[in-house]
Amino acid sequence: MRDEPGCLIRVLLLDDCTITRSGVRAILHAYDDIDVIGEAEDIPTAVAQIERDEPDVVVVNSLASQLNPHQMIDGLNWAGRILVIVDADTGFSAATGTVGALLKSATPKELVLALRMVAAGYSLFPSSRCNPPKQQSKPTELIRASLGPELDSLTAREYEVLRLLAQGSTNAEISATLVLSESTVKSHVQNLLGKLGMRNRVSAAIYAYEAGIVPGPRS
């Protein structure tokens, strides 16, 4: 069962391997706030699709290409948001202008979380080998303090639902994890969105990330 829709994120996949493109598409298909609008096996095809379809995010698998991530980004010549899947040994720099990088060891849920954050304007760079953006995030304690008392208004169950939601879990998965009916999970989601003043699941996931409830995609 697909999750209920939030703010729709239009995604283009750039990967010269049909099998891995299909795998990523299958992962993203489980989320109604993400719509894979196209696939490209090379840069010229991707450029044409970007001009025609205007995606919100281009997901680039740099592992299957003969080009390095920098060359792929330069080849797209696009000022939009890009999430690049990189190898742990790739020294990927924020200076390339891309919005985010995700290690190939990331889980499907981490891919979804990273995609949502990139779509919302957040920069993500693995800390082990990639250079972070110049602007540094505030320490978690300061972020938590600045979020206000709304987090304390959540019940223990709503907090757990928020944590799982932010990790990319669907309502069905949350239902199975917490042993609740899906209708109860939906009620908890609506309640926590109202208490936090959030419009959709993406906003709530980013809130949870900033509050330190869940970590960002791992490095």
Q: Is 10 helix (H, G, I), strand (E, B) or coil?
A: strand
pLDDT digit string (tens) for 70-123? 778 888 888 889 998 887 655 565 555 567 888 888 888 888 888 888 887 777
Output the pLDDT for position 35.
93
Listed in sequence order, the residues at least 6 apart from 218 whose beta carbon sits closer than 8 Å to its beta carbon are 103, 105, 106, 110, 126
| Distant-in-sequence, close-in-space partners of 90: CB < 8 Å, separation ≥ 6 | 62, 68, 69, 129, 130
Spelled out in words, what is the top-level CATH class assigned to the domain 140-211? mainly alpha
The per-residue pLDDT for 119 is: 84
Q: What is the pLDDT of residue 65?
A: 67
Right CATH for 9-119 from 3.40.50.2300, 3.40.50.10800, 1.10.3720.10, 2.40.50.140: 3.40.50.2300
Within the chain, which residue ranges are assigned CATH 1.10.10.10?
140-211
Q: Name residues of the chain where pLDDT drops below 70.
A: 1-7, 64-67, 88-98, 126-149, 215-219
pTM listed for this prediction:
0.62
Look at the block and give the residue holding tokens 């891309």. 98
**Would you tell me the crossing angle of helices 201-211 and 108-119 to the nearest 10 degrees?**
100
- Which residues of the chain form CATH 3.40.50.2300? 9-119
Terminal CA-CA length for the chain: 30
